[in-house]
Amino acid sequence: MASYAKELGFCGQVVLEPCSRSTWENIENAIPLVSSLDRIKIVSHPLHAEKGRLYLHQQRPDLASRLAGGCEYRFGEWALLKPPFAAYGLWDLARTRRSLHTLLSRP
């Protein structure tokens, strides 16, 4: 995504966090890197970026207000694989939201 941003002419700061093994961990490890920024963009495949935004809301609600949209969709990208990935992504996103809701509902 960083390379793609540069191809599009983006010349702002791109922060990469290369050590994580999960999306939750990636957000957790990126927080110190982005906590001083005015705007935060999580860029990935659309459903994965949405999952990252949900995780940021959970981990640091104060930073979530700084989230800005990113250009996440490229027309024609992975055309044949998109339907099954979208179905899995929607299922996984719903599962993630249910898990977070359950955690937040506990006394």
In angstroms, what CA-CA distances link 102 with 60, 88, 94, 99?
18, 21, 12, 5
Residue 74 has pLDDT above 90, yes or no: no
Q: How far apart are CA 87 and CA 42, in angstroms?
A: 21
Domain count, the chain: 1
| Residue span of the structural domain in which 14 resides | 2-105
Under the banding of pLDDT at 50, 70 and 90, the label for residue 78 is low
Residue 79 has pLDDT above 80, yes or no: no
pLDDT, greater one: 40 or 86: 40
